[in-house]
Amino acid sequence: MTDHQQPGGVTGAPVPARIKIDPDFRVGPLNRRIFGSFVEHLGRCVYTGIYEPDHPTADEYGFRADVADLVRELGPTIIRYPGGNFVSNYQWEDGVGPRSERPVRLDLAWKTIETNQVGTDEFLQWCQRLDLEPMMAVNLGTRGITEASELLQYCNAEGGIELADRRAKNGHADPYDVRVWCLGNEMDGPWQMGFKTPEEYARLAEETARAMKRFDEKLELVACGSSNRSMPTFGSWERIVLDRCIDLVDHISAHAYYEPIDGDHDSFLASAEDMDRFISSVVATADHVAAARKSDKKIMVSFDEWNVWFQKRWEGEQKLEIRETSALIEDVYDVEDAVVIGSLLIELMRHTDRVAIACQAQLVNVIAPILTAPGGAAWRQTIFHPFALTAKYAHGVVLNPAVSGPGIDTDRYGEVGALQATTVWNADAGELVIFAVNRDRVRDLDLTVDLGAFADLRIVEHLHIADDDRRAHNSPEQPNRVVPKPGTSTLSDGRLTGVLPAASWHCIRIATSTRSEG
Ligand code: AHR
């Protein structure tokens, strides 16, 4: 019997599942930048999302305080900006300087009139006020090395050169010191303004990276990987790009969006399996390039777009009419979507040794954990909760627990384990946190966790997301219809036991006096 076979094969009956945690089995320090998010000039993410000068809660800069409060509660660490597809036809110069003089332009990516009332300075200062790290993207679609290098200088140069002096004149004398830069966005996608062959992109990324690193060799640069794992050139794109750029870049991007396809909810709940294979393939390709060049360089993955997105319901940008800023891709998420988001976060943590950065796409309104009404309320979607709890409680070292239990058959990924879990140990704070998902849509799991390697154990809190109505969602009328609720688990003699209901996500915090191994 494999780890994931179902003993007895009883459909619908609760089945045993087991986790064994040992402090010696470590993946590595948790990269907190995996709790990133994304603000794009798309739909209402910026305008009437984070920024709405006429809103009753608007601050002196025109940004919504109610949204800022929810962003603080959500707890992202790094925010990618300004796109996305938008960046590939963006002229950053339009978005700086006196607002009354900024041109109104047509953004061809989303066929939207862009007023440029929010630009680089407004975004970076909003990040500073919220203590968020910015992650900027440069336009390598319709523009190139000069514009990328000039934006970098505008953001990071000390005074005395024109671009730094321009920034000072625009109200910010100090450099912003942006550390992470994306070299374009999804440059292999035919939907991208100025999309490229791998050879064309590799050459442009190489020369742009060289110029940017000449300014500051400690910058962290992200080369574009494939737009998703099903692109025809997936694998060869990464190889060709890294073959040219491996010495100049630090990370390669990965993007993935998940949804139930043709009603296949078993595969949807197992979406983390795809993310696992995606990360492993990109890492294998990067390591192959390094090996062939006799290099020890470990390129890291920047999973800088990931989420649930019901793309089958979206008409696509081709069909859009040119419009003023208006609602686009405002998906409403249910309980099952929240379980999948929790599961994808577990997968990112499991790969902390090779995933440096991850950004949930996006932050507000557009496929987002936070929704707003123009002039009105802001509220938390279901997917807000697993993100907020994971970002709040995952600190320290990711451990590699042994996980076993029943399997589920999926059309897309074959047999996968119903129980998916990871553990993050904050030795300094004396806290061990188990993040777990029961991906089985039918059967509850009787969970036993062997914690015998840890001393003086106590459950601090067990929160979970599950609901008899998996289609339940939050709304302005019922903003707290779906919230995390206490789970049922008990601890004695180094064993935690509890029930994980079908299709549920869990965060179990355990106090321990164990401070280090041995
Ligand atoms: O996040 C929405 C869009 O999805 C981004 O603009 C693009 O990079 C991706 O295809």
pLDDT of 6 strictly over 50: no
Q: Is 304 in the pocket of ligand 1 (CB under 6 A)?
A: no
Q: Which of 37, 46, 85, 330 to mutate to test the pocket of ligand 1 (most atoms within 8 A of CB)?
A: 85
Q: What's the mean pLDDT in 404-423?
A: 98
b/e sequence 154-192, b meaning 16+ C-beta within 10 Å: bbbbeeeeebbebbeeeebeebbebebbbbbbbbbbeeb
* pLDDT (0 to 100) of residue 8: 36
The yes-or-no verdict on residue 201 having pLDDT over 50 is yes
52 is catalytic: no
Residue 1 has pLDDT above 70, yes or no: no
Altogether, the residues listed in the chain come to a count of 518
Residue 12: per-residue pLDDT? 56
- Identify whether 305 is a catalytic site residue: yes
Give mean pLDDT, residues 44-63. 98
Which is it for the CA torsion 331, 334, 336, 341, positive or negative?
positive
pLDDT at res. 2:
34
Q: Whose CA is nearest to atom 4 of ligand 1?
A: 84
85 lines ligand 1 (CB under 6 A): yes
3-class secondary structure per residue, 449-502 = EECCCCCCCEEEEEEEECCCCCCCECCCCCCCCCCCEECCEEEECCEEEEEECC
Q: Are 261 and 238 in contact (CB under 8 A)?
A: no
**Does the pLDDT of residue 4 top 70, yes or no?**
no
Say if ligand 1 is within 6 A of residue 185 CB.
yes
| Statement: residue 487 has pLDDT above 60 | yes
Quick one: pLDDT at residue 272? 98
**Active-site pick, 52, 186, 273, 336:** 186
Partner residues linked to 476 by β-bridges? none
What φ, ψ does residue 444 adopt, rounded to 5°? -75, 155
**Does residue 93 surpass a pLDDT of 50?**
yes
Cα 171 versus chain centre, distance:
31
CA separation, residue 340 to residues 82, 281, 298, 301, 325 (Å): 26, 21, 29, 21, 30
For residue 1, what are the contacts with CB-CB under 8 A and spacing of at least 6?
Answer: 7
What are 307-357's pLDDT values in tens digits?
Answer: 999 999 888 888 899 999 999 999 999 999 999 999 999 999 999 999 999
Tokens standing for residue 290: 């390094």
Q: What is the pLDDT of residues 429-473, one digit of tens each?
A: 999 999 999 999 999 999 999 999 999 999 999 999 999 999 999
Tell me how far the alpha carbon of residue 85 lies from the centroid of ligand 1, in angstroms.
Answer: 6
Q: Per-residue pLDDT for 31 more than 80?
A: yes
Which tokens hold the place of 178? 């942006």
Q: β-strands 458-465, 26-29: how paired?
A: unpaired
Q: Judge if the upstream peptide bond of residue 478 is cis by omega within 30 degrees of 0.
A: no
Q: Mean pLDDT for the chain?
A: 96
Position in ligand 1 atom list of the atom nearest CA 305: 1
The whole-number average pLDDT for the span 137-153 is: 98
Cα separation, 358 vs 73, in Å, equals 18
Cα–Cα distance for residue pair 79/359, rounded to 1 Å: 7
Q: Does residue 296 register a pLDDT over 70?
A: yes
Q: Which of 111, 139, 186 to mutate to test the pocket of ligand 1 (most atoms within 8 A of CB)?
A: 186
* Whole-angstrom distance, CA of residue 344 vs CA of residue 412: 16
Q: How confident is the model at residue 517 (pLDDT cuts 50, 70, 90)?
A: low
Does residue 29 surpass a pLDDT of 60?
Answer: yes
Beta bridge partners of 410: 414
How sure is the predictor about 89, in pLDDT bands with cuts at 50, 70 and 90?
Answer: very high
Tell whether the model's pLDDT for residue 211 goes beyond 70. Answer: yes
What is the number of alpha carbons within 13 Å of residue 199 lying toward its C-beta?
Answer: 0
Query: How many angstroms separate the alpha carbon of residue 301 from the centre of ligand 1?
Result: 17
Banded pLDDT at 174 (limits 50, 70, 90): very high
**Per-residue pLDDT at 63 exceeds 90:** yes
CA gap 236, 281 in Å, rounded? 11
Q: Whose CA is nearest to atom 6 of ligand 1?
A: 84
Q: SS3 helix, strand, coil % of the chain, rounded to 5?
A: 30, 25, 45
Residue 30: pLDDT over 80: yes
pLDDT, mean of residues 205-212: 98
Q: How confident is the model at residue 149 (pLDDT cuts 50, 70, 90)?
A: very high
Q: Does pLDDT of 173 surpass 90?
A: yes
Mean pLDDT of 50-68: 98
In this predicted structure, the answer to whether residue 7 has a pLDDT above a threshold of 50 is no
